[in-house]
Structure 1
Amino acid sequence: MALSESQIPPDAQHYLVCGTEDCEKNCQFYCNDGHQPMCEQCRNEHQKNKKTKNHEVVLYKLRKRQLPVEKCNIHPTKEIDLLCRECQIPVCSKCTGSKEHRGHLFTNLEIVFDEKVSIYNKEIANIRSYFEPTSQDLKKEIAEDVTEIKKIMEGVRTSMKAEAEAVKKLVDTVTSDKIEQVDKIEQSLLQTLNGQNQEIDDYINSLNDLIKTYYGYLSPSNIEQLTFALKSENLIIPSIPETSKPLPPVFTAGQYSKEDVAKLLGRITVPNTKLENRKIKPMETASTQLKPTGKQRKQDREKSDVKQTLSLSPSVTVPGVDDVLHISLGKSGRLWVSDDVGNLVQTDLQGNQLQKIQTSGRDEGYHTVTQDGDLIYTDRENKVINRITPDNTITEFIKKGDWAPISIHSSHINGDLLVGMETNGEAKVTKYNKIGTEIQNIQRDNKGQVLYSYPRYITENINGDVCVSDYNKHAVVVVDKSGQHRFSYTGQGSGLGPYGICTDVLGHILVCDDISATVHFLDKDGQFLSLLLTPQQGVDYPLSVCVDDENNLWVGQLTNTVTVYKYLQ
């Protein structure tokens, strides 16, 4: 079946005849005014004709597409030939004066359609010249990979089955021996029980005989029986024979695990290397309409910035703590580390203890290092905030009255202090300046709803957002610098058990999760990007994190060690 002109692709190889009556020559040109295809000779005659010499005649490929002729539903005598820019709908000339379109701007529908046709032609050309053939090449490569993978995996399956058969034979032999042993034990126990059963049967028979005798006494048939019944004062019933409940054998399951069985059957390993992307030839002329959106490009760029984490140096073993629940980086390669029983220790990178303080802190982010190198830590028991200067002088910095300070962070932007506090089931975040003057309280959102339940850890992002790890709310609660709620992040399906939190120079948010035993990596708007430091990477329960000036990630775990990782390109 022949295609109509409107169905023929613009770049298709086909023979189109002239639209002039009785002319069957090859069409090369097109009259946009009369919407007529023309050969070269008819084009020349058309331009010499007084009636049509002012018509716009162009190459056929550059023609304007003819609009479908359709009458207006509202004004049946008028044809639709305009586009209302505000409503983005085709209308007729009479519609322009109606109440619905009063004051609106209108454009010739043919011009608008021609612009769209030009864009679509470019997109079609790009698809057919680049995207489609490149995709077909990739399909061929994938098909070859599928064949190869199937062949390899069939070999793996064959080897595994052979290994399993050998183990099964061994298991059958051992099982047969053990079942034979069980049969012998069962036979011995049943013999004992059958003997006891026979003894009870004999006893019941003797009881029946005794009953018959006693019934004879109840209705004596002669003087002898009556005399015996009258003389019998104490009737003696023999005791029930003693029996014993046998002790059956106990089966103790073998001390093995799924991993032990897996070792017997060999193992399957996937190379721990980054997958190599298939090479795609560059596109010479890319269409802007097919490029990723700005937001997608941004997210792709952020994801590409993340590299597989690797340890930069040997772990630092911190003496004097049971685990690492919070880390504050100081100057000159020194760090402060705390555990969940109030031990606050300063150490160098070799693990030498420099200072130790007993505090009332627990598994919270209750200490921070200021821009001047001072350590600030909260005392929830006495409801005060203390300062330790580099010369080890401890002073009471801020007293809080009824509110117990539980988490604290010194701003890298301006040195302000952010303090998470709670009292009698209420919670809030208070901001102080460098000298300890209160400058802001954040407790409720603009609808009056409470923002926090237990602000266990707190930090600040590069845009001034206050980021709180609230364990009771199972969320990361983020407000802007004015205190307005921006978003709450609650995890990826399995919930969130948020612990330590920090941000980096790109505005990423990193938060430890004790449910998945990983670190969730978010952008500054709370969009999930990836998981870092998973158990598969040998990280044992990350609970505290911070980032240094060189974008290295310091991680504290459920041990007394701190490890440093590189995670950004």
Structure 2
Amino acid sequence: MAQAQDVILCQYCEETAASSFCVPCGDEICPRCKPFHLKSKVPSGHNVIPISGRTDPCNTIKMCEIHGTKPYEVCCEECELPLCILCVEESHGKHSIGKLKDLYEKQKDTMLGELSQITQEFIPLVIENLEDMKSNKLEVKQRHANMREKMKEHADQAIALITSTLNDKIKESLKEEKKEEDIILQHEGNLEIFLQQLHEVIQKYENLTNIDHPANLIMYRKQNPDVKLKIILPSKLELTPSSFTPGQLVNINQFGRVITSKINYYSMNTKKVFSPPKRNSSTKKVKTRYVSKKKNAFTKNISNLGLYYNTLLPKPKKVYEINLHCTGNTLYDISCVDDKKAYIYGGDYRILLIDISGNRLAEVHTITEPSDLAVMNDETVIYSGKKSRRIFRVSPCNETTEFTDTEYEPSGLCCTKSGDVLVCMGHKSTAKIVRYNSRGEKIDEIQYDMYGNKLYDEPRFVSENVNGDICVIDWTFPDITKVVDEHGFLRWTYDGNIKINQFVSFTPRGIATDSLGHVLISDIFNSAVHLINQDGHFISCILKQINGILRPCCIAVDKSDNMWVAEKEDTSIKVFKYLS
């Protein structure tokens, strides 16, 4: 029965098995009916083939998409397209025309080769990549679970440290309370004894004046002519109460940050990294990059609850006073080469190299009036042109070249320990700190905080700290000092502690750092130099104790941690030692 079902009967007699197939008509025909079928007329003519070729795609008919009444019969070998008779006449008459089957077989072989590659190469690669993604998904969940656990452990350590510090402070308070109570009790006892003695004197006087014989009074006065003068009242105890001044705990943003993952897409064929397309630089909004070093800032700063800086001298000691007679009315900047020499300029077109005796060792005639200067690691001097939007480099052999041109007017300069140059530039919405390498190529800029808000209004002075922090004096209203880490993440700000120190205002006009990470800020209006630690905690106004320092303007720190200070409208430089 199965074999009988596979037999195809002739469509005409419906009795005999069909042995032929007419392609244009689509009829199955037996040998007896074949002659009658060929006598019938059709527009395209008959094409009878063996019944076994009935399922061959080449033996099917497909009508032309352009000329719907004509079938595809041949092909254009140049265009590699199937054609009907009208296509050949209209568009491909001058082309090489071939058999449709030959082009079909050629393209079929090519596609079978591609199919084999897709099946044997691409499918396994995609399946392998899919398995990796499933595995990575589990790894991501586990990694983030571990990261959250680490955050909790970090928080627990901070809480434990706070608790331990709190217990120490409580013990210190209890000890101080016991000491104060003992002092008060002792003084109270002395006062009670003295009061008793006064009552005895009163009783003696009352007896002599009211009861005793007059001779006794006269004899007592003879022996004690002025008892009142001999009575020395005990001292009054004035106890200044203990108090607690909260230390500035680390900003909560310094607890730590989640460093976001970096995702690259690789071609599975070439293993090549595809970089994301760059945005148009003209519309690009440059923002701060938020990649920070892993550091336990909370643990490092919690000690500031009761930290004593025993490296600070009780009073700064003046070691040199350099009198200059070769500058203008005031000095605008000092940049130390070492602890014996420094470059200075004072409001004209000259930059001078002087020593601690005031001798002029070299003189640079600038192309334009400088707005700031700095000394690079190889003792090359750079200075910013006040209105030229250019920065110039002066080699040790006094050869001047252009370091770079800038987008906006440059002001404050700083040469970093890595050899880069930090430049303050811009105003209001364009204000930023730009980093150049030693060749004058811009490599980074800091303009916005992590929320996209502008960091600066008018950055005027800049200095790099030993931990890589960038310390900037921003001329806002009121002025403020802002410190970001080397990647541009805002760490802390300082407004002069105006309320604590009862200053009228904070007018910073110079900034420097030393080898211990202190930040020194000259405050011209208050005639002081503020000393801040590298985490933003106020230590002292170290020049407030010194007579004769008025309106400190520019400030620098040399390699021996000596502080060089110049006063406004004075051409002398005073050098102080402030660390033990």
Q: What TM-score do the two structures reach when normalised by structure 1?
A: 0.47
Give 1 or 2 for the bigger CA radius of gyration.
2
**TM-score, reference length from structure 2:** 0.46
